[in-house]
Amino acid sequence: MPDIVITEFMDQSAVDDLSARFDVLYSPDLVDQPEELEEALAGARAIIVRNRTQVRHELLDQAPNLQVVGRLGVGLDNINLKVCEQRGATVYPATGANDIAVAEYVVGTAMILARRAYGASTQVINGIWPRQNCVGREIHGQVMGLIGCGSIARETAKRAQALGMSVIAYDPFVKPDDKVWSVIGRIDSLDELLGSADVISLHVPLTDSTRNLIDSDALSKVKEGAILINTARGDIVDEAALIEAMKSGRVGGASIDVFANEPVDEETGQRFADIHNLILTPHIAGVTEQSNVRVSSMIAEVVAKHLGEAK
């Protein structure tokens, strides 16, 4: 039986490094094979997951020897931390390893959505010349509003400021005397941020207090034509309310990388059809070739160190 079970994709060099020292089962599709996963976990001391594997009571019951959970990412809403602690399983997220990837995604899509020109390829190919419809805005001089001001938000702020944007943030959990407020404008309320920002980017975990944080009421308070970017968690945004806000023109553009239910099925996807200035991506903002190496290497190292013994 394997010491380490890896249920979702991981950089191969990190897998090879672990395999040289431990008995490893690596199957990127194991998350979708519950019977095989249960069998693999029977003697496993470690499991390495991304966001789809649900590390909760049922899975933990299948892994009586589990000592460590490695998370290839930073969100922990798919892991029951309390039960892991009770079972003596330490959870390690890849804190900081994908910050740059997410920050570049946010600023890159903000530029695309503000400019409005990059969706015209099909029309130009078909001999249509929609110049008037493609006149957008520069992001220079615009206001980037960050909901949450953790490490990814701070990396996003650096890049936005380098492009001439002003950056403000709302985060009641960051102390007023934190040095970050010397370079980012501190906003005291969510409503104030929503009404002030030209681009709104979400950087909060999914909790009871953030579920549906961006609902129809919140969207009614955004600056008209604002752009919304969600790389955090799908359930933070009420998808139906966002669709309505985009159709009405209240929200001028959106980039959505995370969804309430993933993978998105055809029925859910069709709700977003025929909405202009919209970018939908499959929970990939934090995954680049470079960040995958960093994330995988970090988790391989901490898991190996925790287990502490070779073959």
Chain segment 280-292, per-residue pLDDT in tens: 999 999 999 999 9
pLDDT at 311 over 80: no
Q: Is 262 a catalytic residue?
A: yes
State the DSSP string of 24-66: EEE-TTGGG-HHHHHHHHTS-SEEEE-SSS-BSHHHHHT-TT-
CATH number for the domain formed by residue range(s) 4-97+290-307 = 3.40.50.720
> In this predicted model, what pLDDT tens digit does every residue of 74-114 receive, in sequence order?
999 999 999 999 999 999 999 999 999 999 999 999 999 99
Q: In a 3-state reduction of DSSP, which class is residue 197?
A: coil
Instruction: Give which of 205, 195, 200, 196 is closest to 173, Cα–Cα.
Output: 205
Distance CA 186, CA 172 (A): 10
> In this predicted model, what pLDDT tens digit does every residue of 206-246 receive, in sequence order?
999 999 999 999 999 999 999 999 999 999 999 999 999 99
**Residues constituting the chain:** 311
Element (H or E) spanning 166, and its range? strand 166-170
Distance CA 118, CA 297 (A): 35
Distance CA 68, CA 41 (A): 12
Residues 6+ apart with CB under 8 A from 213: 147, 190, 202, 204, 236, 237
Examine domains 4-97+290-307 and 99-280 and report if their fold is the same: yes
pLDDT of residue 310: 53
Query: At the fourth CATH level, which superfamily is domain 99-280?
Result: NAD(P)-binding Rossmann-like Domain (3.40.50.720)
Amino acid at 19: S
Q: Is 52 a catalytic residue?
A: no
> In this predicted model, what pLDDT tens digit does every residue of 249-281 receive, in sequence order?
999 999 999 999 999 999 999 999 999 999 999
> In this predicted model, what pLDDT tens digit does every residue of 10-64 receive, in sequence order?
999 999 999 999 999 999 999 999 999 999 999 999 999 999 999 999 999 999 9
Amino acid at 105: Y
pLDDT at 309 over 70: no
pLDDT of residue 82: 95
**∠ Cα 92 96 100 (to 5°):** 145
CA distances from 286 to 25, 50, 128, 134, 226 (A): 24, 11, 35, 29, 23
Q: Are 68 and 90 a contacting pair, CB within 8 Å?
A: yes
The catalytic residue among 45, 71, 159, 283 is: 283
Instruction: Give which of 93, 39, 89 is closest to 60, Cα–Cα.
Output: 89
Distance CA 273, CA 230 (A): 18
pLDDT at 125 over 90: yes
Element (H or E) spanning 5, and its range? strand 4-6
The catalytic residue among 233, 239, 250, 294 is: 233
Q: Where are the domains of the chain?
A: 4-97+290-307, 99-280
The catalytic residue among 39, 104, 262, 301 is: 262
In the structure, what pLDDT confidence band is assigned to residue 304 with cuts at 50, 70 and 90?
A: very high
pLDDT of residue 1: 85
Mean pLDDT of the chain: 96
Q: Is 57 a catalytic residue?
A: no
